[in-house]
Amino acid sequence: MAQGIPDELLTNSDLIKELAEEAKDSALTRGVLMRLQETPNSSEVVSFAPFTLFPTPVPKAVFLQALAVQTHYNTLVDKISQDADFLQEALTSTIAVDDFTARLFKIHQQILKEGRSQSIVLGLNRSDYMLDQRENGTSSLKQIEINTIAASFGGLSSHTPGLHRHILEMASRLEESQRILDNNPAAGLAKAIAKVWELYGSEKAVIMFLVEEIQRNVFDQRYIEYELLKRNIHSIRRRFDDVFKTGSLDQDKRLFVDGKEVAVVYFRNGYMPQNYASEQSWDARLLMERSRAVKCPDISTHLAGTKKVQQVLARPGVLERFFPDQPQVVEQIRATFAGLYTLDMGPEGDQTVAMALAAPERFVLKPQREGGGNNIYGSELCQVLEQVKDSTERTAYILMDKIHPTPVRNYLVRQDSPLKISNCLSELGVFGAYIRYGKDMVMNECAGHLLRTKSSEHSDGGVAAGVAVLDNPLLF
């Protein structure tokens, strides 16, 4: 394990077994928790959230690069959300074939027509990266995606540094334990929500966490709620159905749910088609978007995070539209782009199809979906492209270069899962928090980081999907 845990420790089976048991207790005492799959809406019986036994080595230069570019990504997302013409141009082909994106876009158009009811904008996002490591020895940071809605694990990742420090100390690896950074995204995200609550200006108003029907990852969100409570700001947790049944706007478009005025709607739901179980869910989304409550994200910021927008941004000259006099910012952002290719109808899209079918192992096919587990690889990529290559259905996808990180050996600690050494791949997420009030950016910060790791046998999927586990970077 380069720059990390030596092989003699990784192969010491008695010590590994002892450390794993110790680690589970440590995770539980530190609140690194998830509800059980069998009882996802009950906290009667819970378990530890899955994690790596040891932290994963990450080059310090790459880590600092990801942190440094985050405020620029915050600005970029915000500028895109304000550029209705750009969103229209970027998403025209997608909304013609992708019903979900089309429904979101329809709400966006209605809000533009009516005029926005709130000039305060809150963005809490997470930009995800992998390290592209080539045979010639070069390695570079490449963005997988940016999540502008329901970016998770800011809560739990605030409690994992202590877990890994403890394990390294138990394994007599004191020097490594001191290389694990403090990390508190929960506090960083809550700080931005609290600032927006103050700007909204009603002491009785609450923060509404809009949550899913199934809430296994409740503790991740609770940590943000409790950070808000330290500031005497109260939160409620409601589903789409609750908003539909008890939500209303007064004559000033203030949003009331269950009789409580809502200052901020923090979406931890609403990013996948299945989140909208009925027309009532869509009606509830529109009601919230039309209201004076600050939406995190508002509908145009949600659309700014689509895969199609990501692909369009990689075209020559597009970043310059948003940073006309800042070539260094453009350079910093562009350095993190992987190869992205359009599948729109026409010669350029035809070329993309031919390139992907000729060498499918080089690429990943991405639909306009969040939540992990949606990407298409290898033989399945060929099957899907063969089916849609001559129809407009192909424009529901984008094509991206496959990133090649070097696997690292580690143990993935899961409930009821045998402990075995795995070849692992990691993904680094960086949390961003920004607030715009009218035309003024009043906050723009990097709010912390998240490292997730999975066995290299899995192509895709996050922690909530049961594939990846929580981790920490061991900087070198």
List residues with catalytic annotation: 126, 145, 147, 152, 307, 366, 370-371, 452
Spatial distance between the Cα atoms of 293 and 117, rounded to a whole number of angstroms: 8
Structure-token pair, residue 220: 């991740």
293 assigned ligand-binding residue: no
- 3-state DSSP percent of the chain in helix, strand and coil, to 5: 40, 25, 35
41 assigned ligand-binding residue: no
221 assigned ligand-binding residue: yes
Spatial distance between the Cα atoms of 304 and 86, rounded to a whole number of angstroms: 10
361 assigned ligand-binding residue: no
31 assigned ligand-binding residue: no
82 assigned ligand-binding residue: no
How far does the chain reach from its first CA to its final CA, in angstroms?
12
270 assigned ligand-binding residue: yes
145 assigned ligand-binding residue: yes
61 assigned ligand-binding residue: no
125 assigned ligand-binding residue: no
Torsion of CA 367, 34, 159, 170, to 10 degrees: -120
Residues 6+ positions from 250 with CB-CB distance below 8 Å: 256
Which amino acid is located at 412 in the chain? L
- Strand pairing category for 473-475 and 56-58: parallel
375 assigned ligand-binding residue: yes
Cis ω for the linkage preceding 297 (within 30 of 0): yes
275 assigned ligand-binding residue: no
Q: What is the enclosing helix (H) or strand (E) of 60? A: helix 60-82
Nearest residue to 356 (alpha-carbon basis) of 335, 331, 376: 376
Nearest residue to 126 (alpha-carbon basis) of 70, 82, 75, 81: 70
325 assigned ligand-binding residue: no
Number of neighbours of residue 307 by Cβ within 10 angstroms: 23
20 assigned ligand-binding residue: no
- Taking CA atoms, 195 is separated from 10, 122, 296, 361, in Å, by 45, 10, 13, 46
Nearest residue to 380 (alpha-carbon basis) of 396, 366, 393, 400: 366
- What are phi and psi for residue 366, nearest 5 degrees? -120, 125
400 assigned ligand-binding residue: yes
Which amino acid is located at 442 in the chain? V
Spatial distance between the Cα atoms of 140 and 425, rounded to a whole number of angstroms: 15
SS3 29: helix
216 assigned ligand-binding residue: yes
355 assigned ligand-binding residue: no
- Taking CA atoms, 64 is separated from 133, 142, 334, 473, in Å, by 17, 13, 16, 12
183 assigned ligand-binding residue: no
CA 457, chain centre distance (Å): 22
333 assigned ligand-binding residue: no
149 assigned ligand-binding residue: yes
152 assigned ligand-binding residue: yes
372 assigned ligand-binding residue: yes
- What are phi and psi for residue 437, nearest 5 degrees? -120, 105
403 assigned ligand-binding residue: yes
167 assigned ligand-binding residue: no
CB 265 within 8 A of CB 293: yes
CB 115 within 8 A of CB 280: no
367 assigned ligand-binding residue: yes
Spatial distance between the Cα atoms of 258 and 137, rounded to a whole number of angstroms: 59
Residues annotated within a binding site for substrate: 126, 149-152, 215-217, 221, 268-271, 463-464
Residues annotated within a binding site for ATP: 145, 307, 366-375, 377, 400-403, 427, 452, 454, 460
Residues annotated within a binding site for Mg(2+): 145, 147, 370
Residues annotated within a binding site: 126, 145, 147, 149-152, 215-217, 221, 268-271, 307, 366-375, 377, 400-403, 427, 452, 454, 460, 463-464
